[in-house]
Amino acid sequence: MNQAFASNFAKSIFLSVSGLVILSFIGTRIFTHIDLNLYGYMVGTIVFLGGFFYRFIAWGERPPTKILIKKGLKLLRRRKTPAISVEHLVTHKFIQNRGIYRWTQHMLIGWGCILSCFVTFPLVFGWMYFTMDEMGYYTVVAMGIDLIQVKADGWIAFVFFNALNITAIMVITGVSMALYRRLKNMQARAEQKFIYDFMPLYMLLFVSVTGLLLTFMNVFLHGAGQPIMSLIHQFSVIITLVYLPFGKLAHIPFRPMSVLARNYREHYSEQGMKDCKVCGNQFVSTEQVQDVIHVLKINEIEFKTNEGGHLGELCLPCRRKYRIAQFSGFPTHQVKLKETNQHAQV
């Protein structure tokens, strides 16, 4: 299989696109239910997959990432994996430690985007669609199978047809909260960059607002201006999908990797912690220290100390002191260095 492709990237793209075509073939009942109005979204999604696999493979080929993925996948059978997955992928409790305000904005943006994808992608590739066989009733079809019939004016149909409007309101609310914080918080203002931090938020805002305008035009303006707004909205979605793998929003599809990292840290910490060779405090697992030294050796980077040890065997404060001592000439234990709390709430 590997010899048939020029690279891992080419193989990943080929298999992914082939899988989408096969699923669409099944879901649309041999391509008999295709909405050509969604063709642009389909092209944007395929480009997004190309960018995602390009960045993921480039990241995954790094020696530290290889170790994390290899050992993390083996630890997925841990009893704590479901709880960790819920915390990192559903409740985002790690954000809650930074404050309820930031947790709320993060939940609104994150789940607004994820739920939008869960609705949009099945529609774009024909995995799900609606038919009206009887007056006043819609049939929900998923992967070519008739699932349920719902009243056209019922609450289930209302949720189905307005799901993207609901997620758009979630994203607009979350983005507005994020922009307010970034503009009012002095520390955030000093650290933010327009291209990396603000532009993704503006893109999400533009996609959500244009999506709501489509509904507004259809309901209140009887479709006036809808064709032009449909093209504007489609263009905004495609540009966002193309940008997503290469900007700050890339952490959304990369987020599941945090489960592997958490399992790695917790499991090997339970196996045994490493004592710092200077102060004696335990700082990371013995396995992680060995992996760090191994990765540095692969990259031909030597961080050996004059005493015959390795900087990787020192905790972070002692590592800083050791480096200062090499420049100042003072013994390591005499260097006064104040440690700051990087996670303090401002």
**pLDDT at position 171 over 90:** yes
* 82-136: pLDDT as tens digits: 999 998 889 888 888 888 998 999 999 999 999 998 888 888 888 888 887 767 7
What pLDDT is recorded for position 210?
94
What pLDDT is recorded for position 254?
86
CATH of the domain at 213: 1.20.950
DSSP result, 92-117: -HHHHTT-HHHHHHHHHHHHHHHHHH
| Domain-embedded: residue 343 | no
Tell me the H-state helices in the chain: 8-27, 39-60, 63-74, 81-86, 93-96, 100-124, 155-161, 163-184, 186-191, 199-220, 226-243, 251-254, 257-271, 286-298, 316-328
105, 170 in Cβ contact below 8 A?
no
Amino acid 285 reads S
- Helix, coil or strand: residue 151: strand
What pLDDT is recorded for position 344?
41
**Do 217 and 282 belong to one domain?**
no
**Do 254 and 107 belong to one domain?**
yes
Domains in the chain, number: 2
Alpha-carbon distance 270 to 259, whole Å? 17
What pLDDT is recorded for position 335?
58
Alpha-carbon distance 164 to 293, whole Å? 49
- Helix, coil or strand: residue 162: coil
**Do 156 and 234 belong to one domain?**
yes
**Do 161 and 285 belong to one domain?**
no
* 180-211: pLDDT as tens digits: 888 887 777 777 788 888 899 999 999 999 99
Q: What angle do CA 242, 244, 247 make, to 5 degrees?
A: 120
Task: Return the number of other C-beta atoms located less than 10 Å from residue 240's C-beta.
Answer: 19
Q: How far is CA 199 from CA 65, 168, 172, 205, 279, in A?
A: 28, 17, 14, 10, 45
| Domain-embedded: residue 346 | no
Strands 137-142 and 145-151, how do they pair? antiparallel
**Do 184 and 280 belong to one domain?**
no
**Do 244 and 282 belong to one domain?**
no
Q: How far is CA 212 from CA 50, 73, 165, 171, 181, in A?
A: 29, 41, 6, 11, 24
Strands 145-151 and 273-275, how do they pair? unpaired
| Domain-embedded: residue 266 | no
| Domain-embedded: residue 38 | yes
Task: Print the domain residue range for 312.
Answer: 272-334
**pLDDT at position 341 over 60:** no
| Domain-embedded: residue 342 | no
